């Protein structure tokens, strides 16, 4: 996996990384992490550290990389600049690349002119046919230059994609791509080819947006007389509504943000496993070890798949309920508010576990246990008059004050007996009671909830609700 430190790590990056990781492990290979930081203008300070941290937070690691080294170190491209220059000059010497001295202004002018004519913008090869004497004179004079790929005319460029079969394009549609910039940094195209070859990368699984760049890479492999690796270009994720490529404009896509919201990393990985691929038996719950054993990139769908948030939420809830109480408490720790009554944690947790979808929900699911409650007056009056509500709340207070034990069984027996004796509408009365004591229309089982909240608080809330309906 070769992230660029230009911003937050995307969930699509983690999904791609997972597939590379699983394939490497399945075949007893090495999973390599390389930092591609040649785009110095877009580089974000501290991004490398964040990327390494979030990959580890998802429970994944690497066999070779910038922090642990390996036989082909360094694994950060900005530390390999002399190598790229050497290889670029090799291509110039063999006639597969050339020096270009055109200014940024001239390049921009050419591109604008071609766009105005509805022609795909390409370099016009102005410097390609300079004589060796002209080139040397310009270099000796210190003119700024780049190195460009000398793309051959009218040649078929074919490569095999594991998911799409053979793909062929004509070289006439390929630009004379810049390989080495004037600041000595390589472009992605040169650096990735040099590093993949020298680091003995055998398989590359990356996003389908790189399909259009692959012909350039094939030409570079040919120019160097190197064997190309095997490619698999995976489809992008679509937004949860199925419309368009998943992007920041339509909601969060940062891998860390999902963990911050309380999605479990193991649930996230399981979700990525089944997006566009399923095992032979079609099951949806997979451990990482099972995925490593069964994943086959050649059986992945080549069609874009929807990032189904509802499926992810379902999976996450399932994984939450598989945790032991101690493990769940540990995972919940960052999400428990300071004012939460920790002495009641063991009583409250079982009441909300079934409704806990992401860990961040813990606060909203439990805050009525200890915070001030003010029910919605309109909801209270929706199916009852102020007079009826006052009667119900007063009688409920008296009933609860008379019970001998504040236990859910006795609470339920007393309240149900009161409702039946008064012949109040069951749905209206119990919704009124739930609203009065919790402020919510949906809660854990009512009588267990009342027991945990406590008699003093419940009586106080009933009195407050009675005052509210008569205001």
> pLDDT of 349-406, one tens digit each?
999 999 999 999 999 999 999 999 999 999 999 999 999 999 999 999 999 999 999 9
Q: Work out the average pLDDT over 4-24.
A: 94
Q: 281 in a domain, yes or no?
A: no
Q: Identify which of 156, 144, 49 has the alpha carbon closest to the alpha carbon of residue 105.
A: 144
Q: What DSSP line would sit under 227-264, residue for residue?
A: ---EEEEEPPEEPTTS-SB--GGGS--BHHHHHHTT--
Give the Cβ contact number of residue 278 at 10 Å: 16
Q: 86 in a domain, yes or no?
A: yes
Distance CA 214, CA 415 (A): 72
The reply to whether omega before 74 is within 30° of 0 (cis) is: yes
Give the Cβ contact number of residue 310 at 10 Å: 8
Domain of 457? 377-470
Q: What is the pLDDT of residues 298-318, one digit of tens each?
A: 899 889 999 999 999 999 999
Q: Which of 200, 248, 382, 426 is catalytic?
A: 248
How far lies 251's CA from each of 13, 163, 258, 451, in Å? 16, 29, 11, 40
Place of tokens 């390389």: 34
Q: Identify which of 37, 39, 46 has the alpha carbon closest to the alpha carbon of residue 8.
A: 46
Q: 403 in a domain, yes or no?
A: yes
Q: 185 in a domain, yes or no?
A: yes
Q: What is the pLDDT of residues 25-35, one digit of tens each?
A: 999 999 999 99
Bridge partners for 238 per DSSP? 245, 306
Q: What is the pLDDT of residues 104-157, one digit of tens each?
A: 999 999 999 999 999 989 999 999 999 999 999 999 999 999 999 999 999 999
Q: 445 in a domain, yes or no?
A: yes
Confidence at 470, pLDDT banded by 50, 70, 90: confident
Q: Work out the average pLDDT over 87-110.
A: 97
Q: What is the pLDDT of residues 421-436, one digit of tens each?
A: 999 999 999 999 999 9
How many domains in the chain? 2
Spell out the long-range contacts of 209-214 with Cβ–Cβ below 8 A and sequence spacing 24 or more: 209/236, 211/161, 211/167, 213/188, 213/189, 214/159, 214/167
- Per-range mean pLDDT, top range of 3-7, 203-207, 435-439: 435-439
Q: 436 in a domain, yes or no?
A: yes
Residue that is last in its domain, among 192, 209, 234? 234
Share of the chain above pLDDT 90, in %: 92
Q: What is the pLDDT of residues 222-245, one digit of tens each?
A: 999 999 999 999 998 988 888 888
Q: 23 in a domain, yes or no?
A: no
Distance CA 134, CA 156 (A): 32
Distance CA 387, CA 188 (A): 75
CATH of the domain at 164: 3.40.50.620
Does pLDDT of 93 surpass 90? yes
Contact between residue 110 and residue 134 where contact means Cβ atoms under 8 Å apart? no
Q: 116 in a domain, yes or no?
A: yes
Does pLDDT of 471 surpass 90? no
Residue that is last in its domain, among 234, 256, 275? 234
Q: What is the pLDDT of residues 273-294, one digit of tens each?
A: 999 999 999 999 999 999 999 9
Does pLDDT of 251 surpass 80? no
| Mean pLDDT of the residues in the chain | 95
Distance CA 349, CA 329 (A): 9
Does pLDDT of 250 surpass 70? no
Confidence at 246, pLDDT banded by 50, 70, 90: confident
Does pLDDT of 248 surpass 90? no
Does pLDDT of 193 surpass 90? yes
Dihedral sign of CA atoms 171, 174, 176, 177 in order: negative
Does pLDDT of 249 surpass 60? no
Instruction: Specify the pLDDT at position 159.
Output: 95
Chain centroid to Cα 362, Å, comes to 22
Residue that is last in its domain, among 234, 262, 277? 234
Give the Cβ contact number of residue 112 at 10 Å: 11
Does pLDDT of 187 surpass 60? yes
Confidence at 419, pLDDT banded by 50, 70, 90: very high
Contact between residue 231 and residue 214 where contact means Cβ atoms under 8 Å apart? yes
Decide if 43 is catalytic. no
Place of tokens 């609470």: 411
Does pLDDT of 40 surpass 80? yes
Chain centroid to Cα 414, Å, comes to 50
CATH of the domain at 458: 1.10.10.350
Q: Which two tokens stand for residue 90?
A: 């090799």
Bridge partners for 100 per DSSP? 146
| Sequence-ordered list of residues with C-beta below 8 angstroms from that of 14, at least 6 positions apart, any chain | 54, 55, 58, 60, 255, 268, 272
| Backbone angles phi and psi of 255, in degrees to 5 | -60, -40
């Amino acid at each position: 996996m070769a992230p660029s430190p230009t911003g937050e790590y995307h969930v699509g990056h983690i999904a791609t990384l997972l597939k590379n990781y699983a394939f490497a492990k399945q075949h007893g290979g090495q999973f390599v992490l390389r930092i591609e930081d040649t785009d110095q203008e877009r580089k974000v300070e501290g991004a490398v550290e964040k990327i390494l941290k979030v990959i580890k937070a998802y429970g994944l690691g690497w066999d070779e990389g910038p922090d642990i080294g390996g036989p082909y170190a360094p694994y950060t491209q900005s530390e390999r600049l002399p190598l790229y220059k050497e290889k670029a000059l090799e291509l110039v010497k063999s006639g597969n690349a050339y020096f270009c001295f055109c200014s940024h202004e001239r390049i921009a002018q050419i591109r604008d002119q071609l766009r105005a004519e509805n022609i795909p913008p390409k370099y016009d090869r102005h410097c390609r046919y300079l004589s060796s004497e002209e080139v040397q004179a310009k270099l000796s004079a210190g003119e700024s230059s780049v190195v460009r790929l000398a793309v051959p005319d009218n040649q078929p460029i074919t490569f095999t994609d594991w998911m799409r079969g053979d793909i062929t394009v004509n070289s006439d549609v390929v630009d004379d791509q810049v390989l080495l910039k004037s600041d000595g940094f390589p472009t992605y195209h040169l650096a990735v080819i040099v590093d993949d070859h020298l680091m003995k990368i055998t398989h590359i699984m990356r996003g389908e947006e790189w399909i259009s760049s692959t012909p350039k890479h094939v030409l570079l492999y040919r120019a160097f007389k190197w064997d190309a690796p095997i490619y698999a270009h995976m489809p992008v994720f679509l937004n949860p509504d199925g419309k368009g490529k998943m992007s920041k404009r339509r909601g969060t896509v940062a891998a860390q943000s999902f963990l911050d919201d309380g999605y479990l990393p193991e649930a996230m990985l399981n979700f990525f496993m089944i997006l566009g691929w399923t095992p032979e038996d079609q099951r949806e719950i997979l451990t990482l070890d099972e995925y490593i054993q069964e994943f086959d990139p050649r059986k992945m769908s080549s069609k874009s798949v929807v990032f189904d948030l509802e499926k992810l939420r379902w999976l996450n809830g399932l994984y939450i309920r598989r945790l032991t109480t101690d493990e769940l408490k540990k995972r919940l720790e960052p999400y428990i508010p300071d004012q939460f009554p920790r002495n009641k944690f063991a009583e409250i947790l079982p009441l909300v576990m079934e409704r806990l979808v992401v860990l961040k929900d813990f606060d909203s699911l439990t805050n009525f246990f200890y915070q001030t409650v003010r029910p919605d007056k309109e909801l209270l009056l929706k199916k009852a008059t102020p007079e009826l509500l006052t009667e119900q709340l007063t009688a409920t207070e008296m009933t609860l004050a008379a019970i001998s034990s504040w236990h859910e069984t006795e609470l339920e027996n007393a309240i149900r007996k009161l409702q039946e004796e008064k012949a109040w509408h069951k749905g209206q009365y119990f919704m009124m009671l739930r609203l009065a004591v919790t402020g919510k229309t949906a809660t854990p089982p009512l009588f267990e909830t009342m027991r945990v909240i406590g008699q003093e608080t419940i009586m106080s809330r009933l009195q407050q609700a009675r005052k509210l309906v008569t205001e």
